[in-house]
Amino acid sequence: MGVEQVKTERQKVIEEWLPITASRNAKWWYSAFHNVTAMVGAGVLSLPYCMAELGWGPGIVVLVLSWVITLYTLWQMVQMHEIVPGKRFDRYHELGQHAFGEKLGLYIVVPQQLIVDVGTCIVYMVTGGKSLKKVQTVVCPDCKPLRTTYFIMIFASVQFVLAHCPNFNSISVVSLAAAVMSMAYSAIAWIAPVAKGVQPNVDYSYRGKNASELFFNFVTALGDVAFAYAGHNVVLEIQATIPSTPEKPSKGPMWKGVLVAYIVVAICYFPVAIIGYYIFGNFVEDNILMTLDKPVWLIAAANMFVVIHVIGGYQIYAMPVYDMLESVLVTKMNLPPSRTLRFVTRNIYVAVTMFIGICIPFFGGLLGFFGGFALAPTTYFLPCIMWLCICKPRRFSLSWFTNWICIVLGVLLMILAPIGGLRLIILQAKSYKFFS
């Protein structure tokens, strides 16, 4: 009995120290802006380009379907957070273990969640660096151009500081700023084209010259749309910060926050995608801010907003990774939970993501490749499979059919998206220079 008592005491200390379970006093609006920061990433800026690759009809269908499916799977995760009375599944892999079994749950969820979280952090490193570089070239065209490497290092220096915020609630101000910035640059991304007006010789035909090019462009665009809707990897971890009692479970305030976040997602995504494509047609670049070159102050401001957003976004995606690393070190390796441990672990993580971002500036293509394997499951159909395993809806009922439709569409996306990403890597690798 004494050993059990000590064990539970130690577990309690660890739980109060780990970043996901340390603080449970978040309000519903924390959930709203954490979700906006996680969801409305720099991916929104590539949506007009995706529309150009998909075409009017398929483009709008894919955007709307993705919005509906991911909102549904997010609702499932919010519901499953406390599906067992008296227990909370604070982490994605804990829910996976409940659905698929102790070992299998870990093997299924952890690699996919890590690919998405670490991959997004690396992409944000590169995006932050490139956006800072764009600010310099726009504001000071006569200045000596610096290599992207230096800008990535400047961006990383901010992350080295923010990495030491202990938990989700401690980065709520950063997250709020990031959410506001994502709405600001999304607004610029469609208001500036409207001010420009429809371009002369605008062309809405497909860019691809033959059937194979059309196919590759189409599936790459599907992967990019999937990346734009990738907020599910941190949703249970965000919900873990909300207080919960049997009378007032956390799913109420969490769902309220998610709905607000999804309305913001719709307000950001649909105008950018549709107006950007309508104004520029198939001349639009893969980042709509790059297509706009005037007015200078607006483009500089928009890129600065992107930088501030990815600063917060990086921390949102890094928090579950910090939690996994610290959890392994204190539970499996029995190291004492301390500030020093946290300091070393997080600095190493930021340094590694910075180094990979500097080495592989075409990481976006890699994410399209790996993202297809990991983003599509964790966002589009893994929650549906868990729902079928845990809730066991009646065969051929509406819930059963809905889940199977999501699973089929998600699996198709998982198979098709990496094909486009692989082609992109091959094309970009031809002109690839280390430490560019």
pLDDT 10s digits, 177-215: 999 998 999 999 899 889 888 888 888 888 878 888 888
User: What is the rounded CA–CA span in Å between residue 81 and residue 89?
Assistant: 5
CB-CB contact of 99 with 313 (8 Å)? no
User: What is the rounded CA–CA span in Å between residue 308 and residue 174?
Assistant: 9
User: What is the rounded CA–CA span in Å between residue 142 and residue 352?
Assistant: 33
Q: In the Cβ-directed half-sphere of 363, how many Cα atoms lie within 13 Å?
A: 26
Give 434's pLDDT tier (boundaries 50, 70, 90): low
User: What is the rounded CA–CA span in Å between residue 313 and residue 316?
Assistant: 5
Burial of 399 (0-12, 13-18, 19+ CB in 10 A): middle
> Any alpha helices (H) in 197-338, and if so which ranges?
211-228, 235-239, 251-280, 288-291, 296-327
The model's pLDDT over 301-340, given as tens digits with 9 standing for 90+, comes to: 988 999 999 999 999 999 999 999 999 999 888 888 889 9
Q: Which of 47, 278, 302 lies closest to 188 in space, CA to CA?
A: 302
- Whether the per-residue pLDDT at 300 is higher than 70: the answer is yes
Burial of 85 (0-12, 13-18, 19+ CB in 10 A): exposed
424: part of which helix (H) or strand (E)?
helix 398-429
The model's pLDDT over 105-145, given as tens digits with 9 standing for 90+, comes to: 999 999 989 988 998 899 889 889 988 998 898 888 888 88
User: What is the rounded CA–CA span in Å between residue 75 and residue 256?
Assistant: 10
- Structural domains in the chain plus CATH codes: 2-429 (1.20.1740.10)
- Identity at 238, one-letter amino acid code: I
Residue 293 in tokens: 């070159």
User: What is the rounded CA–CA span in Å between residue 384 and residue 391?
Assistant: 10
Q: pLDDT at position 4, please?
A: 40
CB-CB contact of 182 with 272 (8 Å)? no
The model's pLDDT over 152-172, given as tens digits with 9 standing for 90+, comes to: 999 999 999 999 998 888 888
> Any alpha helices (H) in 81-171, and if so which ranges?
92-100, 102-139, 148-162
The CA distances from residue 109 to 95, 99, 102, 114, 116, in Å, are: 9, 11, 11, 9, 11
Give 2's pLDDT tier (boundaries 50, 70, 90): very low
CB-CB contact of 247 with 85 (8 Å)? no
Start-to-end Cα distance in the chain = 60
The CA distances from residue 42 to 127, 210, 225, 390, in Å, are: 8, 30, 11, 34
Strand, coil or helix: 43: helix
Q: pLDDT at position 206, please?
A: 86
Number of CB atoms found within 10 A of residue 117's CB: 24
Phi and psi based region of residue 417 (left: phi greater than 0; alpha: psi -120 to 50; beta: remaining): alpha
Phi and psi based region of residue 246 (left: phi greater than 0; alpha: psi -120 to 50; beta: remaining): alpha
Give 3's pLDDT tier (boundaries 50, 70, 90): very low
Give 362's pLDDT tier (boundaries 50, 70, 90): low
The model's pLDDT over 247-292, given as tens digits with 9 standing for 90+, comes to: 889 999 999 999 999 999 999 999 999 999 999 888 888 778 777 7
Q: pLDDT at position 160, please?
A: 95
The CA distances from residue 87 to 44, 90, 101, 252, 293, in Å, are: 36, 9, 16, 16, 53
The model's pLDDT over 18-30, given as tens digits with 9 standing for 90+, comes to: 888 877 888 888 8
The model's pLDDT over 41-86, given as tens digits with 9 standing for 90+, comes to: 767 888 998 999 999 999 999 999 999 999 999 999 999 999 988 8
Give 435's pLDDT tier (boundaries 50, 70, 90): low
> Any alpha helices (H) in 328-381, and if so which ranges?
339-359, 363-376
Give 104's pLDDT tier (boundaries 50, 70, 90): very high
| 111 cis-preceded (ω within 30 degrees of 0) | no
